[in-house]
A and B are shown apart, each in its own frame.
Chain A
């Protein structure tokens, strides 16, 4: 089976001589949920940004849905992000000027889907996540949990092969965190997307099928939660 995410020997440093990632490796299958854990400053988010093709590692190889990001230029990596990746960040990163429907429809529109059709798909997904009545509100006009669920919908609306989530519940209370996590994991699994969760929250990690830990820029252990 082809891994949705395959990273080997990834090395990255913001400043020469001060490596953040030292040979990090990870493989995630389609439909699998993997939690990446580690202390603050261990390189979790940097690793995630390398997986997303936002940061270009100085060494190593990263494949997303069979495409090697390390040989692609910015346009190529952007195309992979557009077609095969979805993102959820701690603060959603929704576009403040667009309403929730516009935000969720955006990935489809960027793929060339007609606006009306994109809006139909986005509306359906928002309904599925219980956000239908709020579809015309802007991110600043809904609660943090609602905005984060909209971010989940945006990350999955175009059925990406991989979803990357960086502390997706970090800013939420327990109840909202559970709701968002249910939505994220449930939707990813239903759509057979590989989900990589960066977290230091045990409750989030427990929802993963597998958990890895980053220590000093390298994946040092891996264990199965279930």
Chain B
């Protein structure tokens, strides 16, 4: 039996690794600090990514806990409620009006109050969330959303998040138009609308990971290469001294492991601070309770273990050649020319994005034969990965071109260096590339969200169903300041003539204001045809003294097409006082108001008819809530991605300068001036970053347009934002060149001339 040779004691290797790390950290402090910071940012990003579904679940759980339980038998009802979801700016205001039954109000054991409430509000009382109180202080018109006197605050247990606008109002049951919804109490009742459906959460986490993950990959590639040459040489020296591969790996693992563990621990320590700060500032558009995303020991341990494990794997891979062929390290290896095929994924991604942007432009969000959103997501991922792969071949090809034709020594030298070290160029630009591309996508996402959550036209039309408006509030609706009002009534649909006729009713002045143009020869009592009408001399409309049907003659006059187009789908226009059409149950009050006046109009509307449920194109409370959370996560991911990308760039720039010291010293000895060296550095970085970021900016613009045209309804590009994106990319090149000039070799370092 062969005996196993005695190995090097593990403590010896560990001590050695620690000593080498200490010395290396002393000599390359900036790189090491940046690596630790980058790892910490990566850990925070990972923890945030893991928290997305947690925070969504926690918000949903609290919403479910306050949902009402509807009894099977109405006799079991102990209270009546009306839940209203009002759109307010890009937020949702939840108002719950409660009316306790007389028995319940007088009983010794009323139903337990909703979470966060000390008790149910009595008639004329209201409990409001802290966010509502803060909002009212800045926007007094919001006060009309709360009925009665505010007697207390809704606690965190009753809120989806700290920024939720919630009002619990006590009312008399007679205030409800139809008696309200009978309920027995709260708690796991009728499930509330999910803020984010599970599919969206998964997509969101995927997008977050895309924003953070790709810069993170770039960072890992950079961090693994930090002082790779010197590290490889010292590991090779250890191998020559008889340290087996396993032992050398242990030494390397100590170096890499300590750095990554320090970064991971720093990340775990920073996360609670980041969590509290970001959760409560509202900078992302959404606030959440820090407790929802509090760090659990298990999650922290898994994240630290994964980070350190990943760093060990990447670190071991980066010195693999040195461990297996230590002698080869003594000879400078040839740099493999990157293959042009690496440009293929980027080209494919850009083509798909361009085709999507072209085909979907004008489709106004209509779906085609295939679900374009899946194609879009795949194209975005392909382009992102393609950008990372393309950085090296782009740098190599452009470097070779300029090296052969450059106008000066500095340009040729810089370009030649770029061509000779395409991997280094790739590491330098990778994070920023992804960031620029992700910015383009973010512009598209923001544009889609903006159009989905806020009315876009200069004049917004609100429609209010009369069924939810008490009789006393109907006439005042027509007199809301700053609005042009009219009433629409419709004919009943009865067999055999299944025809619906809509009639717009207002006096001549009101019609002129509402239509925005004078009606030809308008006089009281006159009527106009505005669309196709059923055959017959009259149509039946609910215009009687008590809303009953009356026969109205079919108009002989027809509105000009341009005027008719402004009120589509109206069939008949009746020039008579609008109040005459307010008596029925099946009409609608239409209010046209300038977009700037929308909040004030809504506030007055809610004060007059709190249960009216006004509707308008772009006013969608559920979508608004959903999109706010989506945007918040995307912004957070983008911010963290930007941080990681910046750190990757900084690490690469600093390490590159250190690795270049010997070559620069040789050039200085040859007589090349430090000014020329600095210019060469600037040329190199400008070339590498300029070409790559130009491609990334183009990809970002295409991605933005494809995203907006595929998933949104607005067909006009956000040109200012896209121009800012291009300017930012250009600025990044300028900053890169400035950093390159700042860290370039300025004087002859004789020590660098010696081989160590």
Interface residue ranges, A against B (CB under 8 Å) = 49, 52, 54-55, 72, 74-76, 78-83, 85, 87, 89, 91, 93-98, 102, 106-107, 109-112, 115, 138-141, 144, 154
Instruction: State whether A78 touches B6 (Cβ < 8 A).
Output: no
Using a Cβ–Cβ cut-off of 8 Å, how many residues does chain B contribute to the interface with A?
36
Chain B residues near A109 (CB-CB < 8 A):
12, 15-16
Chain A residues near B233 (CB-CB < 8 A):
93, 96
Q: Which one of B210-218, B241-249, B586-594 is at the interface?
A: B241-249
Instruction: State whether A98 touches B20 (Cβ < 8 A).
Output: yes
Chain B residues near A140 (CB-CB < 8 A):
751, 754, 756
Chain A residues near B24 (CB-CB < 8 A):
97
Instruction: State whether B27 touches A81 (Cβ < 8 A).
Output: no
Closest CB in chain A relative to B679 CB, distance in Å: 28
Beyond the given A93-B237, A109-B15, please list 6 additional residue pairs across the A-B interface where CB-CB is below 8 A: A54-B326, A74-B244, A78-B245, A78-B247, A82-B8, A139-B754
Instruction: State whether A82 touches B327 (Cβ < 8 A).
Output: no
Tell me, in angstroms, the Cα distance from A1 to B241 when the chains sit together.
27
Chain A residues near B755 (CB-CB < 8 A):
91
Using A52-B240, A82-B243, A110-B241 as known contacts, say yes or no to A95 and B20 having CB atoms under 8 A apart: yes
- B238 contacts A by Cβ under 8 Å: yes
- B330 contacts A by Cβ under 8 Å: yes
Tell me, in angstroms, the Cα distance from A46 to B500 when the chains sit together.
96
Specify the chain A residue showing the minimal Cβ separation from B248. A78
The 10 closest A-B pairs by CB, nearest first: A82-B242, A81-B242, A79-B5, A96-B756, A78-B244, A97-B23, A75-B244, A95-B234, A140-B751, A140-B756
Chain B residues near A115 (CB-CB < 8 A):
15
What are 20 residue pairs bridging A and B, where the CB atoms are less than 8 Å apart in the complex? A54-B326, A54-B327, A75-B246, A78-B239, A78-B245, A79-B6, A82-B241, A87-B240, A93-B330, A96-B230, A97-B23, A97-B24, A98-B20, A106-B241, A110-B12, A110-B242, A112-B9, A115-B15, A141-B751, A154-B241
Instruction: State whether B20 touches A97 (Cβ < 8 A).
Output: yes
Instruction: State whether B240 touches A54 (Cβ < 8 A).
Output: yes
Closest CB in chain A relative to B755 CB, distance in Å: 5
Interface residue ranges, B against A (CB under 8 Å) = 4-9, 12, 15-16, 19-20, 23-24, 27, 230, 233-234, 236-247, 326-327, 330, 751, 754-756
Specify the chain B residue showing the minimal Cβ separation from A107. B241
Specify the chain B residue showing the minimal Cβ separation from A93. B237
Instruction: State whether B246 touches A93 (Cβ < 8 A).
Output: no
Cross-chain contact of A110 among B234, B236, B243 (Cβ < 8 A): B243
Chain A residues near B751 (CB-CB < 8 A):
140-141
Chain A residues near B240 (CB-CB < 8 A):
52, 54, 81, 87, 93
Closest CB in chain A relative to B665 CB, distance in Å: 12
Tell me, in angstroms, the Cα distance from A48 to B9 when the chains sit together.
27
Tell me, in angstroms, the Cα distance from A97 to B241 when the chains sit together.
16
Instruction: State whether A49 touches B327 (Cβ < 8 A).
Output: yes
Specify the chain B residue showing the minimal Cβ separation from A143. B754
Chain A residues near B9 (CB-CB < 8 A):
112
Tell me, in angstroms, the Cα distance from A55 to B239 when the chains sit together.
12
Tell me, in angstroms, the Cα distance from A140 to B234 when the chains sit together.
14
Chain A residues near B756 (CB-CB < 8 A):
94, 96, 138-140
Chain B residues near A55 (CB-CB < 8 A):
327
Tell me, in angstroms, the Cα distance from A130 to B106 when the chains sit together.
103
The interface residues of chain B, by DSSP majority, are classed as helix
Chain B residues near A74 (CB-CB < 8 A):
244-245
Chain A residues near B16 (CB-CB < 8 A):
106, 109
Specify the chain A residue showing the minimal Cβ separation from B324. A74
Specify the chain B residue showing the minimal Cβ separation from A95. B234
Instruction: State whether B12 touches A112 (Cβ < 8 A).
Output: yes
Instruction: State whether B243 touches A102 (Cβ < 8 A).
Output: no
Cross-chain contact of A78 among B230, B237, B243 (Cβ < 8 A): B243
Instruction: State whether B243 touches A75 (Cβ < 8 A).
Output: no
Task: Identify which of A74, A81, A87, A96 gathers the most chain B CB atoms within 10 Å of its CB.
Answer: A96
Closest CB in chain B relative to A100 CB, distance in Å: 12
Instruction: State whether A102 touches B12 (Cβ < 8 A).
Output: no
Instruction: State whether A75 touches B5 (Cβ < 8 A).
Output: yes
Closest CB in chain A relative to B729 CB, distance in Å: 39
Chain A residues near B7 (CB-CB < 8 A):
75, 79
Chain B residues near A112 (CB-CB < 8 A):
8-9, 12
Task: Identify which of A52, A74, A78 gathers the most chain B CB atoms within 10 Å of its CB.
Answer: A78
Chain A residues near B236 (CB-CB < 8 A):
93
Chain B residues near A85 (CB-CB < 8 A):
242
Task: Identify which of A95, A107, A111 gathers the most chain B CB atoms within 10 Å of its CB.
Answer: A95
Chain A residues near B242 (CB-CB < 8 A):
78-83, 85, 107, 110
Chain B residues near A111 (CB-CB < 8 A):
8
Tell me, in angstroms, the Cα distance from A76 to B326 when the chains sit together.
16
Instruction: State whether B243 touches A95 (Cβ < 8 A).
Output: no
Chain B residues near A97 (CB-CB < 8 A):
19-20, 23-24, 27, 230, 234
Specify the chain B residue showing the minimal Cβ separation from A87. B240
Specify the chain A residue showing the minimal Cβ separation from B246. A75
Chain A residues near B20 (CB-CB < 8 A):
95, 97-98
Closest CB in chain B relative to A42 CB, distance in Å: 17
Chain A residues near B234 (CB-CB < 8 A):
95-97
Specify the chain B residue showing the minimal Cβ separation from A112. B9
Tell me, in angstroms, the Cα distance from A141 to B756 when the chains sit together.
10
Instruction: State whether A102 touches B326 (Cβ < 8 A).
Output: no
Specify the chain B residue showing the minimal Cβ separation from A78. B244
Specify the chain A residue showing the minimal Cβ separation from B12. A109
Closest CB in chain B relative to A90 CB, distance in Å: 9
Task: Identify which of B4, B27, B756 gathers the most chain A CB atoms within 10 Å of its CB.
Answer: B756
Chain A residues near B5 (CB-CB < 8 A):
72, 75-76, 78-80
Specify the chain A residue showing the minimal Cβ separation from B245. A74
Closest CB in chain B relative to A120 CB, distance in Å: 17
Chain B residues near A76 (CB-CB < 8 A):
5
Chain B residues near A98 (CB-CB < 8 A):
19-20, 23
Chain B residues near A106 (CB-CB < 8 A):
16, 238, 241
Specify the chain B residue showing the minimal Cβ separation from A90. B330
Chain B residues near A93 (CB-CB < 8 A):
233, 236-237, 240, 330
Chain A residues near B237 (CB-CB < 8 A):
93-95
Tell me, in angstroms, the Cα distance from A194 to B7 when the chains sit together.
24
Chain A residues near B330 (CB-CB < 8 A):
89, 91, 93
Chain A residues near B15 (CB-CB < 8 A):
109, 115
Closest CB in chain B relative to A215 CB, distance in Å: 22
Closest CB in chain A relative to B500 CB, distance in Å: 86
Tell me, in angstroms, the Cα distance from A187 to B104 when the chains sit together.
104
Tell me, in angstroms, the Cα distance from A83 to B7 when the chains sit together.
11
Closest CB in chain B relative to A56 CB, distance in Å: 11
Tell me, in angstroms, the Cα distance from A75 to B239 when the chains sit together.
11
Instruction: State whether A95 touches B8 (Cβ < 8 A).
Output: no
Specify the chain A residue showing the minimal Cβ separation from B756. A96
Closest CB in chain B relative to A203 CB, distance in Å: 23
Tell me, in angstroms, the Cα distance from A84 to B311 when the chains sit together.
35
Closest CB in chain A relative to B398 CB, distance in Å: 33
Specify the chain A residue showing the minimal Cβ separation from B230. A96
Chain A residues near B230 (CB-CB < 8 A):
96-97
Closest CB in chain A relative to B331 CB, distance in Å: 10
Tell me, in angstroms, the Cα distance from A122 to B598 when the chains sit together.
85
Closest CB in chain B relative to A68 CB, distance in Å: 12
Closest CB in chain A relative to B369 CB, distance in Å: 56
Tell me, in angstroms, the Cα distance from A205 to B16 when the chains sit together.
37
Chain A residues near B19 (CB-CB < 8 A):
97-98, 102
Closest CB in chain B relative to A152 CB, distance in Å: 14
Chain B residues near A75 (CB-CB < 8 A):
4-5, 7, 244, 246
Tell me, in angstroms, the Cα distance from A111 to B756 when the chains sit together.
24
Closest CB in chain B relative to A179 CB, distance in Å: 18
Chain B residues near A80 (CB-CB < 8 A):
5, 242
Closest CB in chain A relative to B534 CB, distance in Å: 92
Closest CB in chain A relative to B360 CB, distance in Å: 55
Closest CB in chain A relative to B214 CB, distance in Å: 33
Tell me, in angstroms, the Cα distance from A91 to B237 when the chains sit together.
11
Tell me, in angstroms, the Cα distance from A140 to B662 when the chains sit together.
12
Specify the chain A residue showing the minimal Cβ separation from B238. A95
Tell me, in angstroms, the Cα distance from A83 to B242 when the chains sit together.
8
